[in-house]
Amino acid sequence: MVADRIETRDVDPPLRDDQSEAARASLSGVPHEPGAPKPDPIVVADNIVRKFGGLTAVDVEHLEIQRNVITALIGPNGAGKTTFFNLLTGFDKPDEGRWSFEGHNLNGMSAYRVARLGMVRTFQLTKVLSRLSVMENMRLGATGQSGENLWQAMFAPFWRSQEKANSSRAVALLERFSLEPKKDDFAGSLSGGQRKLLEMARALMVEPALVMLDEPMAGVNPALKQSLLGHVKSLREDGMTVLFVEHDMDMVRDISDWVIVMAQGRIIAEGPPEAVMSDPKVIDAYLGAHHDAELDLDESQSGDRNG
């Protein structure tokens, strides 16, 4: 399988590397406590509450997400991680609270406008557009297309050159994600892991500043996992901020610069991976006494993954 090849990519814009180095370094002074203020936050959320009937699914007092680093959002099933994701991206409305992205207030903003600001998400259950080709999936991601305006759509000269530019950008991204040979296939014919890759590549077509990945490793075979990890890291090197929800502890340990732990709708701990995983509150809430042991396959794949 083509996309399963683990590919190494030259990342050589040193300036950006420096930036993300610096961003990571600046986290060292941040206290390891829930709601800790960050030196350069890209997302700031206050008092976000979402109730489903009598159940309070999310109750986040204060949260800041540092720019240009990889932040993991973990927690046991039902902790409210995916709900929190939906709230931040406008796919669900909180009962109260306010939050902002790069200084833009996002209260009550619809999902598509949030995405246009540069805060793009993927989904826990991959949403590729099955009966569109891989290439069409990619082109759909480009923003500001004049051909998406009804009045200009009928006349190709209005959008042909833009379409060409988008197509070459799409091909470049597909090559990076090793999906280029599949570009004319229906997206529905891809394997689960390839769909994850396509979804990530398509999100990059939007040219986001913050990429939010909801369980990028769920249902991905181990060979592809390594290359996916590399891709997530490369987003950081390219100057993007990454926030992801994940159950795979190896991945969290391996690539995240900062970890936020949710349980029962609240943030119970924050800090670098090692610190968080030895925090007794986290062990109690989530990891159990044997959290140091590698999760075996049955355990990591069983159960409801809904966060």
Partner 1 sequence: MEWGGILEGALQQGLGPAAIVYCLAAIGLNVHFGYTGLLNFGQAGFMAVAGYALASIVATWGLSFWLGLVVGLALSVVLALLLGVPTLRLRADYLAIVTIAAAEIIRQTVGSVSLLEYFGGQDGLQQFVDTFAGLNPFTTPMGLGPVSWRPYDFFLLCVGWTVVALCCLIVYLLMRSPWGRVLKGIREDEDAVRSLGKNVYAYKMQSLIIGGLFGALAGFMTALQHAAINPSFFATDTTFFAYTVLLLGGAARVLGPVVGAITFWFLINVLDLFFDQATVGPNPLISASIMTHQQASLMRLIFLGLALMLLMIFRPQGIFGDRRELAIDGR
Q: Which residues bind partner 1 (CB under 8 A)?
A: 89, 91, 110-113, 115-116, 120-123, 125, 127-132, 136, 139-141, 143, 145, 147-150, 153-156, 159, 163, 186, 188-189, 202-203, 205-206
Minimal distance in Å, beta carbon 273 to partner 1?
A: 28
User: For residues 112 and 290, which CB has a smaller minimum distance to partner 1 in the complex?
Assistant: 112
User: For residues 122 and 227, which CB has a smaller minimum distance to partner 1 in the complex?
Assistant: 122
206, 143 contact by CB (below 8 A): yes
Minimal distance in Å, beta carbon 201 to partner 1?
A: 12
What's the Cα-to-Cα distance from 282 to each of 39, 226, 227, 259, rounded to whole Å? 24, 26, 29, 11
Minimal distance in Å, beta carbon 113 to partner 1?
A: 8
User: For residues 120 and 259, which CB has a smaller minimum distance to partner 1 in the complex?
Assistant: 120
Minimal distance in Å, beta carbon 235 to partner 1?
A: 16
Q: How far is residue 299's CA from residue 23's CA, in Å, rounded to a whole number? A: 35
Minimal distance in Å, beta carbon 124 to partner 1?
A: 11
User: For residues 58 and 119, which CB has a smaller minimum distance to partner 1 in the complex?
Assistant: 119
What is the chain's Cα-based Rg?
Answer: 19
Q: How far is residue 211's CA from residue 134's CA, in Å, rounded to a whole number? A: 20
Residues 6+ positions from 294 with CB-CB distance below 8 Å = 250
- The structure tokens listed for 75 are 């927690």
- Which helix (H) or strand (E) element contains residue 274? helix 273-277
